[in-house]
Structure 1
Amino acid sequence: MEATIFPDEKEYLTPYSFYRRMRDENPIAYDPKAKLWAVFRYDDVRTVLSDHDRFSSDFTKFDSSETVGRRKSLISMDPPEHKHSRDLLTKAFTPRAVANMEPRIAQIANDLLDQVIDKGEMDFIRDFASPLPIIVIAEMLGVPTQDRDQFRSWADELLRFTDNPFVDAEANKERRERVQAEMDDYFRGIIAQRKRDPKDDLISSLIQAEIGGEKLTEEQILSFCTLLLLAGHVTTINLLGNSMLCLTDFPDELNKLYAKPDLIPSAIEEVLRYSSPVQLFFRIANRDIDMDGRRIEKGQRIIAWIGSANRDETKFEAPDRFDVTRSPNPHIAFGYGIHFCLGAPLARLEGKAAWETLLSRIGSFTRIPGTLEPSGGFILHGVRSLPIAFEPVKVHQ
């Protein structure tokens, strides 16, 4: 059945009725205008994400224009290239290195709250959710404090090129290449410095990472810096912002966290499911594929709608209910299979540290009325601005 596979622009913040309708009526759909397939059900989404033999992440196999002005990154590789690169990156970007960041993340969260705590209100995105991950990533990479504004500017520019790939792709090409060139020049300078004088930062670890005598090339390091800046910054902004939206929409669930802060990790997982920061991933058919009676031809592109899969009523009881105690919670907000997000432990840690800090210093949150605007298009899911009022916890002298 032919159909549009995208929610209406008015539904970008709440596309869930659209997803349910597609799961019920057209779960494997082709959009002739966009020339794209899409899958909406949990099992199909998971198959498309994990079956790399049939569904490729490397679009350059079928479209040489994909190579123009773009550097291949971890998310656009297939095995065996993907495994080799990921293994090298994992040598530097280790769970221990991430876990060691927790005290610093908590300190950053406290520093950000210090700047607004006496006002009793803030724009949660501008004042907290946006600066926290950019500071974390900048410090991890070894970016000097004085360069942080430039770092944030690059992240914002990259976001504009990413969120709706069907709009003005050619017009954006020159700007995208300019931003990428500026970032490359900057990070080449840091890489050269770290080769001469290694520091305790991620770029130094990436330079030193080695398996069987083989190391990451400069191009691979530059690619990972770009990926970490975009994926680690923007998606975490949305995770933090969406968590505030969910918990102010469902104050009874917020009260559960006040009563039992040990539920914070479970609450983060429920935010990831209920309001997934990334709504979809793209794949391309490696060969002709039959799925549930539908024929997907070799070279055709497929959207795997994560946001729909995480609301699939066949996998989640009462999927439209936000429940910080939900268990089990097999969401696929970080993807599935070999491309499961390498930065997932960092995002989870930032969410946990942020909410532990917020709950320890603020006694109540209230959303300031106003119209919520999506931060971008239909791929990345979040709000541009989120004004809140709050009551600081009273400290007894």
Structure 2
Amino acid sequence: MTSTKKAPKLADLLAWLERLRGRGQVVHDDKQRCWHVLGHPETSAVLSDPGAFSSDLSELVPRQEDFALFEQGNFVRMDPPRHRKLRGLVNQAFTPRVVALLEPRIARVTNELLDGAGGETRVDIIERLAYPLPVIVIAELLGIPASDRPIFHRWADDLFNQQNIDPEQSLLATATESMDTAVPTIREMNTYLLQRIRARRADLADDLMSKLILAEVDGEHLADEEIIGFVGLLLLAGHITTTATLGNAILCFEENPEAAAAVRDDPGLLPDTIEEVLRYRTPFPRLARLTTRGVGIGEVDVPAGAVVMPWLAAANRDERVFTEPDRFDVHRTRNPHLAFGHGIHFCIGAPLARLEARVALGIMFQRYADISVAADEPVDEVNPWLMTSVNRLPLDLRPN
């Protein structure tokens, strides 16, 4: 029988988080069997202490062979000292200078993609720009054919667009179900990426994958199997963050036309505006950690072996840190949001996502005198318990 259950919206998630916050900034959930961390300082404390809050959850959800291969180089799920060494190797290749030099290419790709719409004034901005732009940029950076982006799109849909997230269900049961569903996609990714890495090792070039192959710390290089995890992470999570941020920015402008007018009048506001978008519509709403010992979070004692869920989306609306947290404010002077995480696992792709969003939005404001969400077509939102993003966002555009 087809389910008639209404798809959840971001407002539903935020209301649920605020009901939880009514019980405290750190709350135990009997149904999900975890500890929800909602406050900004409490979340920051969890993310700052990898010794007490481990990122390696394999003890709880044993990895199948395909996941084990992918996660050899996925330092998002690693603790020190292995995390430090692997991230150090990656940092040699993915430097701030590498990112900064991409700005002219990002601008060219943005204009080419928008030119491809021809004279159309009704455009799905996700399909036209927000998805292909970051994929093209990161694929070229890695040395992977950008023409394969339909494959990457399918992988991202399989891994980031599941609709079975249920706040009433045990998190471990949800995680196990999600992993079982994702196995074919992870297996396909492993095979594809390993072939690309081995081909590049035999024919080095001036790209990020070659730099990862050559990177060295204390005489140690990355094995091909370790490179899989980082390349896959950067290819998928990296482009998804930019896709989400561009779509989220346009929705924020639609809901707050005075903000759009302010940015149009003063493009210098764009960097701060992007930070406010990240705070207000946080792409990845939550993380997960496992306590290695009994530890205090704020005023609450949490036992060893407990699953802890730091909610970035809730921390970014903590009224103790953000004045009027439910208001979208492009003039916000203090914005220490946690959208890209905090501590040793701060998102390595954050500078690239910020750059792509700034360049793309700037060009859109230059090209179009009016940008509005189409009133007669639906906006397709991702399940917000998994990700704050949209799969489809039809716009009406009026050229300058």
TM-score relative to the length of structure 2: 0.90
Q: Following the alignment from structure 2 to structure 1, what is the Cα–Cα distance between the partners of residues 103 and 337?
A: 24
Q: Hey, what does 2:41 align to over in structure 1?
A: 43
- Identify if the C-alpha distance between structure 1 residues 173 and 307 changes in structure 2 by more than 3 Å, giving closer, same or farther: closer
Residues 318-373 of structure 1, C-alpha deviations (whole Å, 9 max, x = no match):
11111112112111110011110000001001101111111111111121125444
Q: Following the alignment from structure 2 to structure 1, what is the Cα–Cα distance between the partners of residues 145 and 391?
A: 27
> Which residue identity is paired with 2:392?
S
Residues 23-65 of structure 1, C-alpha deviations (whole Å, 9 max, x = no match):
33332111112111101111111111111121111113x3361
- Identify if the C-alpha distance between structure 1 residues 14 and 322 changes in structure 2 by more than 3 Å, giving closer, same or farther: farther
Residues 81-131 of structure 1, C-alpha deviations (whole Å, 9 max, x = no match):
111111000001111111111111111111111122511121122222111
Please state if 1:285 is matched with 2:291. yes
Residues 197-245 of structure 1, C-alpha deviations (whole Å, 9 max, x = no match):
2112111111011123211111210000111122112222111100000
Q: Following the alignment from structure 2 to structure 1, what is the Cα–Cα distance between the partners of residues 172 and 132?
A: 29
Q: Hey, what does 2:387 align to over in structure 1?
A: 380
- 1:196 to partner: Cα distance: 2.1
Residues 149-197 of structure 1, C-alpha deviations (whole Å, 9 max, x = no match):
2232222222246984767655554552322222222222222222222
Q: Hey, what does 1:224 align to over in structure 2?
A: 230
Q: Hey, what does 2:106 align to over in structure 1?
A: 105
Q: Following the alignment from structure 1 to structure 2, what is the Cα–Cα distance between the partners of residues 287 and 391?
A: 58
Q: Following the alignment from structure 2 to structure 1, what is the Cα–Cα distance between the partners of residues 226 and 236?
A: 15
Structure 1 counterpart of 2:192, from 186, 191, 214: 186
Q: Hey, what does 1:203 align to over in structure 2?
A: 209
Q: Hey, what does 1:88 align to over in structure 2?
A: 89
Q: Hey, what does 1:389 align to over in structure 2?
A: 396
Q: Is the 8 A contact 1:13 1:382 kept in 2?
A: no
How many residues matched? 385
- Identity, % of aligned positions: 38
Q: Following the alignment from structure 2 to structure 1, what is the Cα–Cα distance between the partners of residues 270 and 129?
A: 18
Q: Following the alignment from structure 2 to structure 1, what is the Cα–Cα distance between the partners of residues 9 and 157?
A: 23
- 1:382 to partner: Cα distance: 1.3
Q: Secondary structure at the match of 1:30?
A: strand
Q: Hey, what does 1:253 align to over in structure 2?
A: 259
Q: Following the alignment from structure 1 to structure 2, what is the Cα–Cα distance between the partners of residues 131 and 185?
A: 23
Q: Hey, what does 1:5 align to over in structure 2?
A: none
- 1:311 to partner: Cα distance: 0.8
Q: Is the 8 A contact 1:138 1:151 kept in 2?
A: no
Structure 2 counterpart of 1:353, from 337, 352, 359: 359
Deviates more, 1:137-146 or 1:102-111: 137-146
Q: Is the 8 A contact 1:59 1:66 kept in 2?
A: no
Q: Is the 8 A contact 1:23 1:40 kept in 2?
A: yes
- Identify if the C-alpha distance between structure 1 residues 50 and 329 changes in structure 2 by more than 3 Å, giving closer, same or farther: same
- 1:145 to partner: Cα distance: 3.7
RMSD (Å), alpha carbons:
2.2
Q: Secondary structure at the match of 1:389?
A: strand
Q: Secondary structure at the match of 1:281?
A: coil
> Which residue identity is paired with 1:333?
A
- Identify if the C-alpha distance between structure 1 residues 264 and 212 changes in structure 2 by more than 3 Å, giving closer, same or farther: same
> Which residue identity is paired with 1:63?
L
Q: Hey, what does 2:135 align to over in structure 1?
A: 134
Q: Following the alignment from structure 1 to structure 2, what is the Cα–Cα distance between the partners of residues 103 and 167?
A: 46
> Which residue identity is paired with 2:246?
L
Q: Hey, what does 1:144 align to over in structure 2?
A: 145
Deviates more, 1:181-190 or 1:264-273: 181-190
Q: Secondary structure at the match of 1:207?
A: helix
Structure 1 segments unaligned to the other structure (5+ residues): 1-7
- Identify if the C-alpha distance between structure 1 residues 173 and 52 changes in structure 2 by more than 3 Å, giving closer, same or farther: closer
Please state if 1:76 is matched with 2:77. yes
TM-score relative to the length of structure 1: 0.91
- 1:67 to partner: Cα distance: 5.6
Q: Hey, what does 1:213 align to over in structure 2?
A: 219
Q: Following the alignment from structure 2 to structure 1, what is the Cα–Cα distance between the partners of residues 320 and 34?
A: 25
Q: Is the 8 A contact 1:287 1:298 kept in 2?
A: yes
Q: Is the 8 A contact 1:29 1:37 kept in 2?
A: yes
Q: Is the 8 A contact 1:163 1:380 kept in 2?
A: no
